[in-house]
């Protein structure tokens, strides 16, 4: 019986509500993001608002924490006024109740209809105070892309972003550089016929629902996002470390991809020549895919010498083991898996974690 099955019903209900709040999302039309009459603060505020359904009411004290800087009380009021004047937000005060007390204000979002092709998905977990107001607006603009006609989106340039929000080009370039460091957007450089760089365009990378979730240990007291040298920079450092791990994983996969069919064929030929006692089973020698997976797993491990193993080095260790079998008199066709040689390879080239005692 699982722990969830043992929990009371009210605990299960609280878990479901928390999970639904964490995975809350909405759709934001690309045409509305590109609309120059919508200010940057209005764009960010409405992007956060689409993750709430119905007549949800936003408060300035709660909204200023969705970004790390740039969304104070006056900016929130200006963003609301801009959205109301443009007809995208309806906000009213209900009539007082029987006791004469005024009720809370009501708010309704009035965005144009959107489909999967002409809109982007906005996750509520992206608004946890990681990015500034400008950086979040740039991210939404990059995800919307430039208008390529017929409802399609294309790559966008920094000067197009600056022109859309009325900023200087340096501000757009600085925000794009931050998003690149956090591995949220990618830069592509195009060359002309002479080989010179003609344009630099930006495209969004895949963002899961927790792409901008802050590290809980990097937040200061009360769980609010920090600023300056407190929790804000440490949170960015946490995301940058995730990006470095992603780059390391890409490099590791590129090294593993070197194992082509020619290298595998040479390894099998070398092992056949050293298997004097014929301890390798015939089916194992024909299991090329199994040998490839085994070599990939061994080449991917970090060794104490600070370098990756190569296929000839692994084949040499296996050859010495096979020669020892001929001396010891091991039975014929008694080895049915390539994992049999993992221990010998580990003894010859110990892993870094084992050598350092971690």
Has residue 354 got a pLDDT over 60?
A: no
354 compared with 271, residue with greater pLDDT: 271
Same structural domain, 50 and 193: yes
pLDDT for 2 equals 45
5-16: pLDDT as tens digits:
455 554 555 555
116-139: pLDDT as tens digits:
888 888 988 888 888 999 999 999
Has residue 331 got a pLDDT over 70?
A: yes
pLDDT for 163 equals 93
* Contact between 345 and 297 (Cβ < 8 Å): no
pLDDT for 261 equals 61
29 compared with 229, residue with greater pLDDT: 29
Q: Is position 189 within any domain? A: yes
In this structure, what are the phi and psi dihedrals at residue 54, rounded to the nearest 5 degrees?
80, -155
Same structural domain, 81 and 174: yes
Same structural domain, 100 and 201: yes
pLDDT for 235 equals 46
- What confidence tier does 285 reach under pLDDT thresholds 50, 70, 90? confident
pLDDT for 135 equals 93
Rounded CA-CA distance 133/69 in Å is 6
Same structural domain, 71 and 157: yes
Token pair for residue 176?
A: 């794009």
Same structural domain, 188 and 97: yes
Q: Is position 290 within any domain? A: yes
Burial class (CB in 10 A: 0-12, 13-18, 19+), 290: middle
- What confidence tier does 329 reach under pLDDT thresholds 50, 70, 90? confident
The C-alpha torsion from 77 through 79 and 82 to 85, rounded to 10°, is: -60
Q: Is position 241 within any domain? A: no
Q: Is position 221 within any domain? A: no
pLDDT for 133 equals 93
pLDDT for 126 equals 87
Same structural domain, 280 and 208: no
Q: Is position 223 within any domain? A: no
pLDDT for 164 equals 92
Same structural domain, 334 and 277: yes
Q: Is position 239 within any domain? A: no
Does residue 121 sit in helix, strand or coil? Answer: strand
Only one residue has tokens 């699982």, namely: 2
Q: pTM of the predicted model, to two decimals?
A: 0.55
Last residue of a domain, one of 155, 183, 213: 213
Same structural domain, 208 and 267: no
Has residue 175 got a pLDDT over 80?
A: yes
pLDDT for 220 equals 36
Has residue 144 got a pLDDT over 50?
A: yes
Same structural domain, 8 and 74: yes
60-75: pLDDT as tens digits:
777 888 888 888 889 9
What is the average pLDDT score of the chain? Answer: 75
Same structural domain, 208 and 262: no
Last residue of a domain, one of 213, 236, 268: 213
Domain range for 159 is: 3-213
Kindly provide the b/e burial profile for residues 17-36, where b requires at least 16 CB atoms within 10 angstroms of the residue's own CB: eeeeeeebebbbbbebbbee
Has residue 353 got a pLDDT over 70?
A: no
Residues paired with residue 191 on neighbouring β-strands, in sequence order: 197
Only one residue has tokens 């409802």, namely: 151
Give the pLDDT mean for 183-199: 78
Same structural domain, 197 and 345: no
Radius of gyration of the chain (CA): 29
CATH of the domain at 89: 1.10.10.10
Last residue of a domain, one of 188, 213, 238: 213
As for how many domains the chain has, the answer is 2
251 compared with 206, residue with greater pLDDT: 206
225-260: pLDDT as tens digits:
433 333 333 344 545 555 555 555 555 555 544 455
Q: Is position 222 within any domain? A: no
Give the pLDDT mean for 306-330: 82
Same structural domain, 179 and 316: no
Neighbours of 217 (CB within 10 A): 9
Q: Is position 120 within any domain? A: yes
């Amino acid at each position: 019986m699982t722990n969830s099955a043992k929990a009371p019903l009210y605990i299960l209900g609280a878990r479901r509500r928390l999970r639904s709040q964490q995975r809350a999302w909405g759709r934001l039309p690309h045409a509305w993001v590109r609309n120059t009459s919508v200010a940057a603060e209005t764009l960010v505020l409405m992007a956060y608002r689409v993750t709430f359904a119905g007549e949800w009411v936003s408060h300035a004290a709660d909204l200023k924490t969705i970004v790390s800087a740039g969304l104070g009380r006056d900016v929130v009021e200006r963003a609301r006024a801009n959205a109301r004047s443009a007809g995208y937000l309806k906000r009213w005060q209900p009539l007082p109740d029987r006791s004469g007390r005024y009720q809370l204000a009501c708010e309704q979002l009035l965005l144009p209809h959107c489909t999967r092709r002409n809109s982007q998905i906005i996750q509520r977990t992206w608004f946890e105070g990681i990015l500034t107001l400008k950086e979040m607006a740039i991210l939404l603009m990059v995800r919307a892309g430039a208008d390529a006609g017929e409802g399609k989106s294309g790559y966008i340039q920094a000067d197009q972003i600056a022109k859309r929000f009325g900023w200087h080009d340096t501000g757009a370039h600085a925000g794009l550089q931050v998003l690149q460091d956090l591995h949220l957007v990618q830069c592509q450089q195009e060359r002309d016929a002479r080989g010179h760089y003609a344009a630099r365009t930006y495209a969004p990378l895949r963002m899961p629902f927790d792409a901008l979730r802050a590290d809980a240990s990097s937040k200061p007291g009360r769980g609010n996002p920090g600023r300056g040298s407190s929790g804000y920079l440490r949170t960015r450092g946490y995301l940058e470390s995730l990006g470095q791990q992603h780059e390391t994983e890409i490099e590791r996969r590129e090294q593993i991809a070197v194992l082509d069919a020619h290298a595998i064929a040479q390894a099998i030929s070398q092992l056949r020549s050293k298997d004097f006692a014929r301890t390798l089973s015939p089916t194992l020698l024909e299991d090329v895919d199994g040998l490839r997976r085994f070599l990939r797993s061994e080449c991917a491990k970090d060794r104490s010498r600070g370098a990756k193993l190569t296929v000839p080095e692994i084949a040499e260790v296996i050859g010495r083991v096979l020669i020892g079998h001929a001396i010891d008199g091991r039975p014929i066709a008694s080895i049915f898996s390539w994992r049999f040689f993992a221990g010998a390879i580990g003894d010859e080239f110990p892993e870094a974690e084992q050598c350092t005692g971690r």
